[in-house]
Amino acid sequence: MMLKIKKFNLKRRLPTCYLLSSKVILSLAIILSVYFIVMDIKLFNAVKNRGPFSSLKFKKNSSILSGKTHKYSMFWPLPVKKIMMAEATHFVRSPIAEFIEYALGFSYLFPFISANFISITHCILSLVTIKFLMHNSLFWRQIGVGIFQFRNFLDSFDGVIFRAHANKTSYTSHYGSLGYYVDAASDVFGGVCLVASIALYLLKNRPPSKNLTRCFRLADDLLESGTNVEKSALTRSSSSDDLFKHSSLNSNLRNKASGKEGIHATKITILTSVAFLGIRIAVSAFFWDRNVHIYQDLLDSPAVSEIHQKLQVKILSSTFTLILMIMWRIMCALSLQDMILTAIFLDKTWEFVVKSQVIGWTVLIFLIILTELHTAEIRSILLQVV
């Protein structure tokens, strides 16, 4: 009897159009994942043959001075920041932004639009998405995901506009400049808005304290040992929500639920879980930016001698260095935001918040420790030849 109820509920909760759209989304996710893996392999091989970054900058600048047309490539030049960039930014957002600028001449058509103006614009969009992402309807939350992804695109586009206005081609962070702080502040604001919208949505729509299988286990117990009224309510239920409408059944389920949490997660549980997610985003962003700066100074800085230059190239092209950098591509704040937005789009926000905590923190802390040890070793090696 219970198997029939589960099967009926599944069809009721997941209509045919939803199942079809889920298959389309799953297919797109698989295609995108394969695309990222293939491009990461190509990136791995490109870095292996990169050579010293200073010579790449010289060649690029000389081509511009000679009047040659700009030609964008995802694999040339390859500074450290680009190697450690999130896959979605490197292989999707940046190529689109570069196309808009260099193929369509955006900065030529709209010279009054500065990089800081674009940064302020995506701050406004971050604020707007809160209203969408906290909405009860999945459709409007999915619209919010689209708006926030457009905000992430603008975050890439402002860098392209900055380089176009400044006539710079080096893909590096200009630490200490006004644009750097404006961009950093806008990124922090975007992350805060995303986390706040998740907290507000979960507080409005409190998730169950346990997963759905526990509800079915409780229902199984009632079918075996419950009263006739409860059994009748279970067999007549057309969805899992109906299981809690009957007053006596609702009371019995609450009494049998674990601890004091009852059917729904407490507000403290929700706020704590979301807070840890926000802290993880902040820690990831801080150490990603810090390590990009360190690797940039160690491996992309002008060499003082030929031996120094060869060591820089050898260290950068080593398998261990590239594995660490690719891991930072996956664990950086932008990649984490993309994972969160995917979970929101699939209506799996709470599942992602809860289930990604342990594995997310474990991998991030392990990666931070490994990177700290690695950069310290690189620094000691290079100091011997300086």
Q: What pLDDT score does 175 carry? A: 72
Q: Which residue has the higher pLDDT, 235 or 171?
A: 171
Would you say the pTM of this structure is higher than 0.85? no
What would the 3-class secondary structure string for 203-229 be? HHCCCECCCHHHHHHHHHHHHHHCCHH
- 100 has pLDDT over 50: yes
- 107 has pLDDT over 80: yes
- 57 has pLDDT over 60: no
pLDDT digits (tens, 9 = 90+) for 115-165: 989 999 999 999 999 999 999 999 999 999 999 999 999 999 998 998 888
Helices marked H in 300-318: 306-316
Instruction: Find how far residue 178's CA is from the centre of its chain.
Output: 26
Question: Token pair for residue 173?
Answer: 């962070």
Helix, strand, coil in percent for the chain, rounding step 5: 80, 0, 20
| Pairwise CA distance, residues 219 & 234, whole Å | 7
Question: Token pair for residue 139?
Answer: 């459709």
Q: What pLDDT score does 258 carry? A: 43
Task: Provide φ and ψ at 112, rounded to 5°.
Answer: -80, -10
The count of C-alpha atoms lying within 13 angstroms of the C-alpha of 89, restricted to the half-sphere facing its C-beta, is 25
Residues 372 and 328: beta-carbon distance below 8 Å: no
Read off the pLDDT of each residue in 216-241 and give the average, rounded to a whole number.
50
- 74 has pLDDT over 80: yes
Question: Token pair for residue 194?
Answer: 């995303």
| Pairwise CA distance, residues 251 & 247, whole Å | 6
| Pairwise CA distance, residues 152 & 225, whole Å | 54
Residues 51 and 77: beta-carbon distance below 8 Å: no
User: 307 vs 56, 313, 315, CA distance in Å?
Assistant: 18, 10, 12
Query: How many other CB atoms sit within 10 Å of the CB of residue 292?
Result: 24
Read off the pLDDT of each residue in 263-280 and give the average, rounded to a whole number.
93
Q: What pLDDT score does 61 carry? A: 41
Q: What pLDDT score does 26 carry? A: 77
- 226 has pLDDT over 80: no
- Cβ-based burial of 58 (10 A; exposed 0-12, middle 13-18, buried ≥19): exposed
Q: What angle do CA 336, 345, 349 make, to 5 degrees?
A: 65
